[in-house]
Amino acid sequence: MLDFAPSPETAALAARVRRFVEEVVVPREAEVAADADRLEPVRAGLQQAAREAGVFAPRVPREYGGLGLDWRDSALVFEAAGRSLLGPQALNCAAPDEGNMHLLHAVGTAEQKARYYAPLARGEVRSCFAMTEPAPGVGSDPAMLLTRAVRDGAGWVIDGDKWFITGADGAAFAICMARTDDGPTMFMVDAGNPGFEIVRHTPTLDHAFPGGHCEVRFAGCRVGADAVLGDIGKGYEYAQLRLGPGRLTHCMRWLGIAGRALDIAMDYVNGRDSFKKRLSQHQEMQRLVAESAIEVHASRLMIWQAAWCLDRGEQALHETSMTKVFVAEAVNRIVDRALQMCGASGISEYLPLAQFYREIRGFRIYDGATEVHRASIGIRLLREAAKGAR
Strands 277-278 and 273-274 turn out to be antiparallel
Q: Which CATH architecture has domain 127-233?
A: Beta Barrel (2.40)
pLDDT value, residue 390: 66
Strands 228-229 and 127-130 turn out to be unpaired
pLDDT value, residue 36: 86
pLDDT value, residue 388: 84
Q: Which residues contact 123 (CB under 8 A, 6 or more apart)?
A: 47, 56, 57, 92
pLDDT value, residue 141: 85
Indicate the domain borders of the chain. Answer: 8-94, 127-233, 236-389
pLDDT value, residue 140: 83
Q: Per residue of the chain (390 residues), give pLDDT as tens.
A: 667 889 999 999 999 999 999 999 999 999 999 898 899 999 999 999 999 999 999 999 999 999 999 999 999 999 999 999 999 999 999 999 999 999 999 999 999 999 999 999 999 999 999 999 999 999 888 889 999 999 999 999 999 999 999 999 999 999 999 999 999 999 999 999 999 999 999 999 998 999 999 999 999 999 999 999 999 999 999 999 998 999 999 999 999 999 999 999 999 999 999 999 999 999 999 999 999 999 999 999 999 999 999 999 999 999 999 999 999 999 999 999 999 999 999 999 999 999 999 999 999 999 999 999 999 999 999 999 998 876
One DSSP character per residue, 42-109 reads HHHHHHHHHHHHT-S-TTS-GGGTS----HHHHHHHHHHHTTSTTHHHHHT--TTHHHHHHHHHHH--
In CATH, 236-389 is 3.30.1200.10: no
pLDDT value, residue 290: 98
Q: What is the CATH number of domain 8-94?
A: 1.10.540.10
pLDDT value, residue 287: 98
Q: Is 278 exposed, middle or buried (0-12, 13-18, 19+ CB in 10 A)?
A: middle
DSSP conformation class of 117:
I
**Alpha helices in the chain, H assignment, sequence order:** 8-20, 29-34, 39-53, 71-81, 87-91, 97-107, 110-112, 118-121, 235-271, 283-311, 317-341, 343-347, 353-360, 370-389
